[in-house]
Amino acid sequence: MKDQSPTILLAHGSGGQLSHELVERVFVRHFDSSILAELNDAAIIGFESSELQVPGSTNPQPGTDNLKLAFTTDSYVIQPLFFPGGDIGKLAVCGTVNDLAVSGAEPRYLSAGFIIEEGLPLETLERIAVSMAETARVAGVQIVTGDTKVVDHGAADGLFINTAGVGVLRAGMHLSPSNLRPGDLLLINGTVGDHGMAVMMQREGLEFGSSLLSDCAPLNGLIAELLAACPDAVRCMRDPTRGGLVTTLNEWAMSARMGIEVEETAIPVREEVRAACEVLGLDPLYVANEGKVIIAVVPQAAEEALAVLRAHPLGREAALIGQVTDEHPGRVVLRTPLGARRVVEMLVGAQLPRIC
């Protein structure tokens, strides 16, 4: 299906198929950058040795050293600003930290840009700033630069935050869906759909028990432990945010031109999330996560990787959920409890708008 709409729709921001088409058609086409065109969670930017400064000298040092950084950005427009398990500020730090971490980088420095609607209580802004500061401390990153804009009442919805982030790519690290090979196994560090359903419940004023919390968390610690314990195991990682698990797996399948098979019963879903999804007619496999990472590993390392994940507080419910195959390239196939197989595609539009 080709996007023929002459105006921007909510679905263009869903992370689904219309988002992809918009990005390709408008941004990738005109910005004409090979780095952008890779459409990874973070851009990898390299700096040559001739740019290095030797303290005390004004001359660059000759040599072949090379610094590779990861650089990424996200804007956060979530409503409501506060939700069970987090707030827009925590989300803005976690989201960018996680995009750097899944690229194989150690997150270091963040920027924070605030677009504030006139009339926002100062106390609200301050609570959010405190939350960002705490999350940054937990993640071990520094917010080093920022910007504040205020727009007139009615010209924005309370508060939007943009964060950009810079991290140091680990030596020798090159994670990409193009690394995927048939037989690679797919892990996830816990239950899916928690973030999206916690926000939806808050938004709709519904309650499904106090345990329905967003999973919003910085994943760089978990990922650092995994990469230290199993340095050669990981082919590719991604955090399945907007569009959920199935959207990310479809991106991988298309990008790698491989098939992906997932075992429905193996995917951890919290009971409250399943119940809430049923009430609202949603599928948890498409619901946003903010503290989950999908990890493709070489088959022989899967057991060890799973053990490392489970030993970490953010990976206790880690599971092996599927594998890469050379059958049905570009497609994600779900095996149901009854043994049936069904293709699960990326959604065209938005399941849940303004979820991040």
User: Which one, 69 or 185, has the nearer CB to a second copy?
Assistant: 69
User: Which one, 84 or 158, has the nearer CB to a second copy?
Assistant: 158
User: Which one, 57 or 210, has the nearer CB to a second copy?
Assistant: 57
To the nearest whole angstrom, how small is the minimum distance from the Cβ of residue 157 to a second copy?
A: 4
To the nearest whole angstrom, how small is the minimum distance from the Cβ of residue 5 to a second copy?
A: 7
To the nearest whole angstrom, how small is the minimum distance from the Cβ of residue 62 to a second copy?
A: 11
To the nearest whole angstrom, how small is the minimum distance from the Cβ of residue 233 to a second copy?
A: 14
User: Which one, 42 or 102, has the nearer CB to a second copy?
Assistant: 42
Element (H, E) at 186: strand 185-188
Q: Burial level of 349, CB count in 10 A (0-12/13-18/19+)?
A: middle
Residue whose tokens read 């938004």: 203
To the nearest whole angstrom, how small is the minimum distance from the Cβ of residue 325 to a second copy?
A: 30
User: Which one, 125 or 275, has the nearer CB to a second copy?
Assistant: 125
Query: CB atoms < 10 A from the CB of 248, how many?
Result: 27
Element (H, E) at 125: helix 122-139
To the nearest whole angstrom, how small is the minimum distance from the Cβ of residue 200 to a second copy?
A: 15
The C-alpha atoms of residue 41 and residue 35 are separated, in whole angstroms, by 11
| CA–CA distances in Å: residue 2 to residues 23, 82, 153, 211, 330 | 13, 36, 36, 41, 18
User: Which one, 32 or 210, has the nearer CB to a second copy?
Assistant: 32
The C-alpha atoms of residue 299 and residue 35 are separated, in whole angstroms, by 29
To the nearest whole angstrom, how small is the minimum distance from the Cβ of residue 128 to a second copy?
A: 9
**Rg for the chain, CA atoms, rounded:** 20
Which amino acid is present at 44? I
To the nearest whole angstrom, how small is the minimum distance from the Cβ of residue 36 to a second copy?
A: 5
Tokens found for residue 171: 């030596």
What is 22-73 written as a DSSP string?
HIIIIIIHHH--HHHHT--SSEEEEEEGGGPBPTT-SSBPPS--EEEEEEEE
User: Which one, 7 or 210, has the nearer CB to a second copy?
Assistant: 7
User: Which one, 130 or 279, has the nearer CB to a second copy?
Assistant: 130
Nearest alpha carbon to residue 238 among 253, 259, 258, 257 = 253
Tokens found for residue 147: 């910007």
